[in-house]
Amino acid sequence: MLKTTGQTGTKILLDAMSKDKVHLARFVLDALDGEIVDSTADGAQTPLISSVLLPDSQTRSACAHECVPTICGPADTGLFSPPGVLLLSSGVLALPAVLAEQEGENLSGLSDNPDKAIFAVRENGTTCLMVEFAAKFLVPYDVLALNGIDLITEQASFTLPRGAEIEGKCGSTDSEIHISWKNNAYILRIYFSKEFREKGIEVWKVNKIQFVYDTSETSHFINAYNPGKHTASTHKLSALVTPAGRSYVCTAQQTVTLISSDHQKGITFSMYDIQIQPFDIASDFIFSAPYKCITDQREHLEEILPLILGLILGLIIIITLTIYHFHLKLTANQPQLPRDRSMYKNM
């Protein structure tokens, strides 16, 4: 999840710093183990150089004694030290904690998979909801036939972009995340809930998925008839059921059908390479213990089943040979009866 190139990590770090998202900047530094300190982004600027160029509307904070004297200048002048940011001798930014009431974070740039998006919702200064997956949409829409009278159905196919905007809401029993792109031409909303099941076992699940799309958006919908916004939703959904306090993990594709307001057309929403947790995240930006989906468990069993059968067969062969060996030793010590009956006269 957190493998990335230095340039990508640097860009995310600088963007977080410019938007005063100190918690995200610290997470990027920790996740990449300081390897991006000397990496360059656009304009050939490293994080250290860019930090001294941040806008400063107030007097810059004084450097601590850990600052590099040649960079920061005398401790009493506070030269080159942006507000609330210290440049340490180790080359790492020392960032104070900042609490945010509620905000969405796009961490997709930290993934080495270009198809995967990573989104987090933070509330009261900590991560309360986090999703990581690659997603694909198949959306049917109407176009006018060549005769100018009949309608034919085309199908738009597109993926969830990594640069989407995030909003969300966290609660003790209900949470939701809203992912939008193309100036709200597309909005994906995923709703989660907690419930108690048999024997008092608490689980969470996806209880609703809603997708808003605009067929007047021409990058995916070409020559759409009567273009406009439509909403597709699931009905009585209970998906990705997971024990409370754990994250849902599934490499296999999970597909859900949504019914659209556009003449009840069926929208196909597919997710794969998934890790999701909407409740009880113990560490900021870090998933809790994984719970593998049934499909992955079955595929894992199918992978190791030949090995298990081979081990059992080998064990049976060893046991058979061992028994045969002991049988030969026991029979070798017993007197042998003559096979030629004429030898009975000498007995």
**Whether residues 123 and 86 fall in one domain:** no
The structural domain count of the chain equals: 2
Within a domain: residue 116?
yes
**Whether residues 186 and 261 fall in one domain:** yes
Within a domain: residue 322?
no
**Whether residues 108 and 81 fall in one domain:** no
**Whether residues 147 and 11 fall in one domain:** no
Gyration radius (Cα) of the chain, Å: 32
Best CA proximity match to 134, nearest among 304, 275, 302: 275
Domain containing residue 131: 102-297
Name the burial class of residue 71, with classes exposed (0-12), middle (13-18) and buried (19+) by CB atoms within 10 angstroms of its CB.
middle
**Whether residues 145 and 205 fall in one domain:** yes
**Whether residues 43 and 146 fall in one domain:** no
pLDDT along the chain (347 residues), means of 10: 52 69 71 58 53 46 37 41 44 45 84 90 91 96 92 95 93 95 96 91 96 96 95 94 95 94 95 95 92 73 64 82 77 62 57
Last residue of a domain, one of 75, 94, 113: 94
- pLDDT score for 342: 62
**Which CATH number goes with the domain that contains 266?**
2.40.160.110
Last residue of a domain, one of 272, 297, 322: 297
- pLDDT score for 219: 94
- pLDDT score for 62: 36
**Whether residues 167 and 272 fall in one domain:** yes
Within a domain: residue 347?
no
**Whether residues 88 and 109 fall in one domain:** no
- pLDDT score for 88: 43
DSSP 225: S
φ, ψ for residue 305, nearest 5 deg: -60, -45
Question: How do strand 290-292 and strand 247-250 relate by DSSP bridges?
Answer: parallel
**Whether residues 90 and 106 fall in one domain:** no
Within a domain: residue 20?
yes
The one-letter amino acid code at 173 reads T
- pLDDT score for 87: 44
Question: Helix or strand or coil: residue 180?
Answer: strand
**Whether residues 55 and 179 fall in one domain:** no
- pLDDT score for 110: 85
